[in-house]
């Protein structure tokens, strides 16, 4: 099922959280139940770790200024879209828009926020039980068979002028793994958008960076999120009167 949700709705699922190293973060959850929500609302984890069934997870992280989230890995593939603030992820400096992808079981980080803090949206297509902190989890990682390490970061920017069309696709993450990819898509006013076939990967997220988009049921403003499952039809959208800039993120196929 294709799911669409606005940032206003995500703000209604706001949670403060303090990490084991004392770093303060806040989460605004679009989709799924992360560990912070589970602790607050109760209930069991949505599914067993390692299941191939899609379980979309998306949330905006507000990381406090002059703070650090230590290096770690997750058990699900993950995109992170950095939208505000300055800092670095690993050795990669952050000072504007940037996208980061990490395969499941691929350590990355630390994520360091400078004085103004950082904001970034985390996207996963499957349930994840939370960060596995390095170096403590290194031995468990070495004992995990069949893992494939891959992580990459890429900076990009939006044009300062108005979005006038025609549609432009800009590659952000290349298909280094079967089905993997991310693109910046810029649409002019009232321009139609036809997404890539979801069958090419293992689920797609679309994030509205600028302008607005109509999904046929509602108008989605900037900071809205759409998730398209692999068996669904490609997203069919129409940009608003000011055009729209989208980031399309497609997860790699699993063996």
Which residue carries 């079981």 as its tokens?
105
**Where are the strands (E) in 44-150, listed by range?**
57-63, 67-69, 72-73, 78-89, 92-94, 97-102, 111-124, 132-133
Q: 202 is written with which tokens?
A: 């293992």
Residues of the chain with confidence (pLDDT) below 50:
none
* pLDDT at res. 162: 75
* pLDDT at res. 33: 85
Query: Could you tell me the domains of the chain?
Result: 3-154 (2.60.120.10), 159-250 (2.60.120.10)
* pLDDT at res. 142: 84
* pLDDT at res. 44: 67
Q: Give backbone dihedrals phi and psi of 36, rounded to 5 degrees, phi first.
A: -65, -45
Q: What percent of the chain has pLDDT over 90?
A: 73
Q: What dihedral angle (degrees, nearest 10) is formed by the CA atoms of 169, 186, 77, 199?
A: -60
* pLDDT at res. 163: 82
Return mean pLDDT, the chain: 91
* pLDDT at res. 255: 59
- How many H helices and E strands in the chain? 3, 19
- For the segment 116-170, what is each residue's pLDDT rounded down to a tens digit? 999 999 999 998 988 989 988 888 888 877 777 888 899 999 987 778 878 899 9
């Amino acid at each position: 099922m294709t799911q669409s949700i606005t940032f206003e709705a995500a703000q209604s699922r706001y949670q403060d959280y303090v990490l084991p190293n004392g770093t303060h973060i806040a989460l605004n959850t679009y989709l799924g139940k992360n560990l912070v929500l589970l602790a607050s609302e109760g209930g069991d984890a949505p599914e067993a770790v390692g299941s191939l069934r899609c379980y979309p997870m998306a949330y905006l992280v507000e990381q406090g200024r002059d703070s650090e989230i230590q290096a770690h890995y997750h058990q699900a593939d993950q995109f992170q879209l950095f939208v505000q603030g300055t800092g670095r992820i690993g050795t990669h400096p952050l000072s504007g828009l940037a996208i980061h992808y990490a395969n499941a079981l691929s350590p990355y980080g630390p994520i360091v926020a400078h004085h103004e803090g950082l904001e970034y949206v985390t996207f996963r297509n499957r349930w994840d039980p939370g960060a596995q902190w390095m170096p403590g989890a290194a031995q468990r990682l070495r004992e995990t068979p069949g893992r494939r390490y891959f992580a990459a970061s890429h900076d990009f920017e939006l044009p300062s002028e108005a979005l006038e069309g025609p549609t432009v696709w800009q590659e952000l993450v290349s298909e280094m793994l079967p089905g993997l990819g991310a693109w910046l898509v810029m649409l002019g006013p009232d321009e139609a958008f036809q997404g890539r076939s979801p069958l090419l990967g293992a689920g797609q997220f679309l994030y509205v960076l600028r302008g607005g988009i109509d999904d046929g049921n509602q108008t989605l403003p900037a900071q809205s999120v759409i998730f398209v499952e692999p068996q669904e039809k490609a997203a069919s959208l129409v940009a608003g009167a000011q055009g729209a800039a989208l980031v399309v993120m497609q997860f790699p196929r699993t063996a």
